[in-house]
Amino acid sequence: MTTFTKTPRNKVKRGAKRATYDVETVHAILDAGFICHIGFVVNGQPFVIPTAYGRVEDRLFIHGSPASRMLKTLEQGIDICVTVTLLDGLVLARSAFHHSVNYRSVVLFGPAHKVDDVEEKTQALKAFTDQVIPNRWLSLRPMTDKEVKGTTVLSLPITEASAKVRTGPPVDDEADYALPIWAGVLPLRMVADDPISDPKLPDGVTVPDHVWHSGYRH
């Protein structure tokens, strides 16, 4: 088992029993999501902005408009924190005090840097698209040079990371187990409803397999 080194930043402070530094676990959680929350500081004020990401091996890519304040700030190489949270269920205990949530989360640290190489940039843009919905990239009108140039891509090495995972039933006070109060887990997951075709589609263009079978169960 390969693990990330604990540093003062990525060492989990609370709930250490739920923490893991296992590289495979961190990668699996990142691959199961596609929205992260990025924390950065401007003049001492923290901002937390949601954005899409793509993972390629040990790098996390984010992207956006060159006019984005967040990307212009991040590309200066400042310290950031990137958090991915996946909600798996409500943990309903016999007392409010022991209510909890089943989840998987990853916290990453480090400065990101700007990707200038066109090939790496294109690989990153493919990674975003296919992270959201596998096999989409190949079905699309290819990106133009102007589009690639008009997109800022940042790369964050996945080297200073930790994960937290909670699973299983509630843990109640011993005396409370005898109470006639229902307790358990209400599992939650993200599902897709039927795709809504763009009203401007030409006649005869039907929903492709990669959208029907997107990995989000209906």
Site for its own copies in 67-126 (CB under 8 A): 67-70, 79-83, 85, 87, 90, 92-97, 99, 101, 103, 105, 107, 109, 125-126
Of 114 and 136, nearer to its own copies (C-beta) is 136
Distance CA 114, CA 156 (A): 9
Integer Cα distance of 71 and 77 in angstroms? 10
Over its C-alpha atoms, the chain yields an Rg (Å, rounded) of: 21
Region binding its own copies by CB under 8 A among candidate stretches 23-31, 42-50, 111-119, 152-160:
42-50
137 binds its own copies (CB under 8 A): yes
List 1, 116, 119, 187, residue binding its own copies (CB under 8 A): 187
The answer to whether 38 contacts its own copies (rule: CB under 8 A) is yes
Segment lying near its own copies (by CB under 8 A), choices 22-30, 113-121, 155-163, 176-184 = 176-184
Please tell me whether residue 76 adopts helix, strand or coil conformation: coil
Q: How far apart are CA 25 and CA 107, in angstroms?
A: 12
Bridge partner list, 108? 82, 161
**Residues between 144 and 173 that touch its own copies (CB under 8 A):** 147, 151, 169-170, 172
Separation between Cα atoms, residue 13 and residue 68, nearest integer Å: 32
